[in-house]
Every structure is written in C-alpha cells, then in structure tokens.
C-alpha cells in the first residue's frame, strides 16, 4: 500500500500546481532510498517505503521520524538549507503539500542549491580554487573536533562494529559475485579487508583512546558539498547511527574516494593535506586506503541494490553496471595498496635520528623495526648495550662484518615480508650496493620499498655523538667516527624520487611523521599502481 500511494504522490509532485509557491519547472532525482523534486526555490525529498536491512522506511511513522532526524542532523553543516518537515495530506481525492488533516506522507523541505556550485561541478570545470579547498578543510576539522563523542559512539565506531559493517557489505553483495561482480576481485577485497582488520586491531582501539570516533557525516561526497553562500554540506546519513558514528578518517575517505573515482586524485590528496594542517593526525594515512576501499564497496552495494529495482531503463542499467564495475576496480586497487608489504629503509649518518624516527613510525604502522646495531651485536654474541669503541671499519665494523650484518638484516626483513607484514630497517645504508640489495629484495618479494634519509647538520650530529655514553646507547658510533663515515657515505643519487624522501630530523617528531606518511602515501600509491598494471599486462 505504501509503495502504491507513493507512486501516486510522486505523480502529483511532478505537477506545478501541487506546490503552494510558483514553480516554472520541476526536475527529479532518484536514489535507492529517496526521491527529490527540484522546483527552483525549494527542493522536496521523500523517503521511499523500502527496507534494505540497514534501513527501514516501510511505515509512515518511521519516515516521519527519519525526516526529522535528517533536518536536525544536516543543520550541523548546512543550517540555512534544511527548512522543515512538511506533511503531505489527501483532501477531496487530491494530494496537497501542507495544510490541516491527517498526513499520508512527509517531505523534507530544503532551500534548493545551485547545481553549478557543487564541488563536483567545480572540480570538473577546473574552477575549485585552493582557497576554497582550504576553507572546506577548516570547516571539516572544526566540525569533527566539535562533533559528539561518547561511550556509545565509541562502541558503535569500535573495531567490532567496523568488522560487522565490512562483513555486512560483503554478505549483502556476495550473491552478485560471479555475475555482476568479478568473483576473484571480490574475494581478494574481502580477504584483504579481513587481514587488515586482524593485523591492525590495536590501531582501531588506539583511535578510540585518541577521541577520533565521532558523530560524523556518513556520506561525504563531492556532490553533497556546495560553495554557495559559504560552504553547505548536505545529505548526511540519518537512517542508521552505525554508519555515521565512525572514525573521522572514514568520513574523509568517502570524499577522497569520490574524487579518485571522478579522476581527480590530486585534488583528493590536496584536500587531505589541507585537512591535516588543521587537525594533525599521522595515523590517518595508515587508515585512509582501508576506509577508501570500504567506501568504494559501499557504492558497489548500493548500485547492486539499484540494479534490482523494477522499471529501470536499459540505459540506466548499463550506466549502473559500468559504475559498479569501476567502483569494484577502485576498491581492488585500494585493497592491494593497504595489504602490499612495504620495506621502509630508515637510513643516514650516525646520530641523524634514525632510531627515534623508526620506533615512532613503527608504532603508527604497527610494523617491526630491525636495527642494524642490534643485529650486528647478536651476530657476534654481544648484548645490545655492550659497548665496542673500535677504530673505523675494524673488528665487528669491518667491511666483512658489515656485509654479514646487512645480509642478516635483509634475511630477517624477508621473513617479515613472507608473513605479509611491512618492516622497518634502521641502518646507515651508506653504500650503494647495500641499497641495491634492499631494492632487489623488495622486487623479488613483490613488496614496496621506501628510503627515508634522515638529515641533520654536521654540528648537530657532533653534539649528539659527543653526548653518547657507553652502556646507555645501543649504537657504538662516537664523535671520532663521524668524519670517516661521512667521507665514505655514498649519496642516494641512484634512487628515483618515488622511492626516496629526505627528512630534516631537527623538525618536531610529529611534523616529520606527517611529512613521511603524506609523501609515502603518494609514493606507495604510484608503486602499487605500476605493479597492478604490470600484473594485468
């Protein structure tokens, strides 16, 4: 009955005389859960009488409730757009918008925003200025920092709920695998998602401790952002708290994924970097591809549902099918990126900050650190803090001993890569052949590799080395070793830019972490894209 009556109401709303204000033209927009009528000054949204497991609009009372929720929640980011919930009544056999009498339907009344001012339209026309992107980032940072958080929100945004959400997506789309969806790719994405969640459980728990789970938007896409009378962000999720209570990264990932899908990954990256200027959060880059993959698969699921609707034209079916396959391919690219192991080579002169940076980066990435000084001493039966102040390149620091040390270091790294885990190598790597061997290992193991060169002025290195005390610091390098080590250090000139970044370790540690993860996110994305292309070729 609800569906039949809604069909009649939709027919009435397609006529100008239905509205109590002047209407010159009416445009209609359809989604899987709502229908929108654009009348010029105002837009009216009706919730379809559907039950999709994750939402239930099948009764009039539920639709009224969620209309009210929509207005209340969207006023957080678009206070002047969401005007009211208007009853639709039936009088003398005719449907009317507003008036006295029992309601037969409810509509959300909105101020209609100009299509040409949506973020999507501006991006497509090359009209989105950096200032506008920066303003959006600032608004989002302020919104998230002020958004509600609580024990209940943390519970809904917990690791267990993320697992439930991802598995629900896969369960609801599994029946399309092998038909609409490529079954091999579907299963790779599912396995990658499960593996990431299992390995990074501590990270998800840490996000709760850092108050990163908030009452977010839930459907942050370029088509929902308008640069009109300021910045208006519309259409948040009101029908299921579980999809709105989430890590801030999950919200930002939706917008970034949407821009990637549209062919503007550079703008997505600029947006994320602009956001981090207002809310420094290095862990965001660890989670970003995971949540992009999740969001892309949400779009796969929605399109699969849409394709089951009756009365779709052949043209619309064809368009949705193409879209669905593109979203699945995008999810696959993200899945390969966040599961492909990476060898992080943290290199540089003694006292350049390698160990400090390695251990902080390891905590963020949940990866193991292999320190050459520890490996070297273990090879020679020494405890890590045992001190050996030997002349340059003598004893356990002879070229032969160093060759054994680097060989053992790479062997241990290979063991981590074979487990599917990333690994950090903390060592000088001052010889090109040492770097070549690490690069060869990455190639043979089908892993990414990034060289992070730690740099500090010589005066700073001397000061740090002069302060080292035996039995406290693991490295044996002392001030008198610096000059010969520096003289023999072969610059990293052979490395392409996509494998090599330089970090000034005089900068604050948090800033260095953000710089590394931001740069490496781009570099690893390029490496993975090339790997996927080579596999497909």
d(CA 189, CA 52): 23
What CATH number belongs to 342-536?
A: 3.40.50.300
* Structure confidence at residue 2 (pLDDT): 66
Question: What's the mean pLDDT in 154-183?
Answer: 93
Closest C-alpha to 194, from 121, 68, 51, 297: 297
Q: Which residue has the tokens 């929100």?
A: 153
User: Which is more confidently placed, 110 or 482?
Assistant: 110
In this prediction, residue 412 has a pLDDT band, given cuts at 50, 70 and 90, of: very high
Percent of the chain whose pLDDT exceeds 90: 77
pLDDT at 249: 97
Judged against a pLDDT cut of 60, whether residue 122 lies above it is answered with yes
> What is the spatial distance between Cα 451 and Cα 502, in angstroms, rounded to a whole number?
8
Asked if residue 514 lies in contact with residue 280, where contact means CB atoms within 8 angstroms, the answer is yes
% pLDDT > 70, the chain:
96
Predicted local distance difference test score (pLDDT) of residue 301: 93
Distance separating alpha carbons of residues 339 and 344, to the nearest angstrom: 15
71 pLDDT higher than 90? yes
Q: What is the DSSP letter of 474?
A: S
Other residues' Cβ atoms within 10 Å of the Cβ of residue 371 = 21
Residue 499: CB partners within 8 Å, gap ≥ 6? 439, 449, 450, 451, 523, 527
CATH class, domain 2-112, is: alpha beta
Could you give phi then psi for residue 248, rounded to 5 degrees? -55, -35
Residue 357, both tokens: 């940076």
Separation between Cα atoms, residue 81 and residue 200, nearest integer Å = 40
Judging by beta carbons within 10 Å of its beta carbon (0-12, 13-18, 19+), is residue 422 exposed, middle or buried?
Answer: buried
Smallest CA-to-CA distance from 327 within 173, 470, 432 is with: 173
| H runs (alpha helix) in 75-210 | 119-124, 130-146, 151-156, 159-173, 183-199, 201-209
The confidence score (pLDDT) of residue 535 equals 54
Query: In this structure, what DSSP letter does residue 503 have?
Result: E
Q: Give the up-direction half-sphere exposure of residue 142: CA atoms within 13 A in the CB hemisphere.
A: 8
Return d(Cα 137, Cα 252) in angstroms, integer: 10
CB atoms within 10 A of CB 240: 17
Instruction: Give the integer Cα–Cα distance in Å for 227 and 152.
Output: 34
Read off the tokens for 291: 């949540």
CB atoms within 10 A of CB 151: 8
Strand ranges across the sheet with 342-348: 368-371, 423-426, 342-348, 448-455, 500-504
- For the chain, give the number of residues: 537
Arithmetic mean of pLDDT, 162-179:
94
Q: CB under 8 Å to 521, separation ≥6 — which residues?
A: 269, 285, 288
DSSP letter, residue 489: P
| Predicted pLDDT of residue 413 | 98
Which of 487-520 are b and which e, b meaning 16 or more Cβ less than 10 Å from the residue's Cβ?
A: eeeeebeebeebbbbebebeeeeeebbbbbbbbb
DSSP 179-226: TTB-HHHHHHHHHHHHHHHHHTHHHHHHHHHTT-EEE--S---GGGEE
CA distances from 491 to 357, 403, 428, 519 (A): 20, 19, 11, 20
The model's pLDDT over 76-98, given as tens digits with 9 standing for 90+, comes to 999 999 999 999 999 888 999 99
Dihedrals phi, psi of 487, to nearest 5 degrees = -65, -30
Annotate 30-58 with b (16+ C-beta within 10 A) or e (fewer). Answer: eebbbbbbbbeebbbbbbbbbebebbebe
Give CA angle at 198 (197, 203), nearest 5°: 65
Same fold for the domain at 119-339 and the one at 342-536?
no
Q: What is the pLDDT of residue 536?
A: 54
Average pLDDT, rounded, for the chain: 92
Which of 450, 276, 267, 263 is CA-nearest to residue 346?
450
Half-sphere exposure of 352 (CA within 13 A, CB side): 24
Pairing of strands 225-226, 245-247: unpaired
Q: Where are the beta strands (DSSP E) in 372-504?
A: 423-426, 448-455, 500-504
Answer for the pair 393, 430: CB distance below 8 angstroms, yes or no: no
Least confident of 29-43, 111-125, 337-351, 380-394: 380-394
CB neighbours of residue 217 within 10 Å: 29
pTM given for the model: 0.86
pLDDT exceeds cutoff 60 at 532: no
Say whether pLDDT at 351 is over 60: yes
Sign of CA dihedral 129, 135, 136, 137: positive
Report in angstroms the alpha-carbon separations of 79 from 47, 75, 90, 234, 512: 21, 4, 30, 10, 38
CA distances from 452 to 210, 449, 505 (A): 27, 10, 11
What does residue 30 show for φ and ψ, rounded to 5 degrees?
A: -120, 135
pLDDT tens, 363-396?
989 999 999 999 999 998 988 877 777 777 787 8
Distance CA 68, CA 83 (A): 11
Of the options 3.90.1200.10, 1.10.620.20, 3.40.190.10, 3.40.50.720, the CATH number for the domain spanning 119-339 = 3.90.1200.10
Domain boundaries, the chain: 2-112, 119-339, 342-536
Range 468-476 average pLDDT: 67
């Amino acid at each position: 009955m609800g569906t039949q009556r809604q069909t009649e109401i939709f027919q009435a709303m397609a006529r100008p005389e239905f509205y109590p204000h002047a209407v010159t033209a009416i445009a209609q927009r359809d989604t899987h859960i709502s229908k929108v009528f654009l009348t010029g000054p105002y837009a009216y949204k009706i919730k379809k009488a559907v039950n999709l497991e994750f939402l239930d609009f099948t009764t009039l009372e539920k639709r009224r409730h969620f209309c009210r929720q929509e207005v209340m929640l969207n006023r957080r980011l678009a206070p002047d757009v969401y005007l009211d919930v208007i009853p639709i009544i039936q009088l003398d056999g005719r449907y009317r918008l507003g008036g006295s009498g029992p309601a037969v339907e409810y509509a959300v009344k909105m101020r209609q925003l100009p299509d040409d001012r949506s973020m999507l339209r501006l991006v497509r026309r090359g009209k989105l200025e950096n200032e506008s992107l920066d303003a959006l980032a600032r608004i989002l940072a302020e919104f998230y920092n002020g958004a509600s958080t609580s024990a209940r929100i943390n519970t809904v945004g917990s690791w267990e709920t993320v697992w439930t959400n991802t598995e629900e997506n896969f369960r609801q789309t599994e029946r399309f695998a092998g038909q609409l969806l490529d079954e091999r790719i579907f299963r790779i994405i599912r396995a990658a998602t499960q593996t990431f969640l299992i390995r990074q459980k501590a990270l998800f728990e840490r996000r709760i401790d850092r108050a990163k789970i908030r009452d977010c938007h839930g459907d942050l896409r370029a088509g929902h952002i308008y640069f009109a009378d300021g910045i208006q962000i519309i259409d948040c999720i009101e029908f299921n708290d579980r999809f709105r209570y989430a890590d801030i990264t999950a919200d930002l990932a939706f917008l970034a994924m949407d821009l990637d899908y549209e062919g503007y990954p550079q703008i997505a990256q600029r947006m994320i970097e602009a956001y981090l200027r207002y809310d420094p959060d290095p862990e965001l880059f660890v989670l970003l591809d995971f949540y992009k993959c999740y969001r892309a698969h949400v779009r796969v699921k929605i399109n699969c549902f849409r394709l089951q609707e009756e009365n779709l034209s052949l043209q619309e079916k064809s368009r949705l099918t193409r879209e669905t396959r593109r979203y699945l391919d995008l999810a696959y690219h993200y899945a390969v990126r966040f599961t492909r192991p990476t060898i992080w080579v943290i290199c540089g002169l003694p006292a350049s900050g390698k160990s400090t940076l390695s251990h902080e980066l390891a905590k963020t990435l949940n990866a193991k650190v292999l320190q050459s000084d520890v490996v070297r001493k273990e090879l020679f039966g020494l405890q890590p803090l045992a001190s050996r102040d030997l002349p340059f390149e003598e004893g356990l620091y002879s070229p032969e001993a160093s060759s054994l040390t680097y060989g053992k270091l790479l062997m241990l790294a290979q063991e981590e890569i074979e487990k599917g885990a990333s690994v950090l190598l903390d060592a000088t790597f001052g010889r090109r052949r040492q770097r070549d061997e690490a690069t060869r290992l990455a190639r043979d193991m089908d892993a990414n590799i990034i060289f992070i060169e730690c740099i500090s002025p010589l005066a700073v290195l001397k000061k740090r080395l002069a302060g080292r005390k035996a039995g406290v610091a693991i490295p044996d390098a002392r001030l008198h070793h610096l000059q010969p080590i520096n003289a023999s250090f072969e610059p990293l000139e052979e490395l392409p830019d996509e494998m090599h970044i330089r970090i000034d370790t005089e900068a604050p540690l948090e800033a260095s972490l953000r710089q590394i993860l931001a740069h490496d996110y781009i570099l690893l994305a390029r490496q993975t894209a090339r790997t996927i292309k080579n596999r497909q070729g």
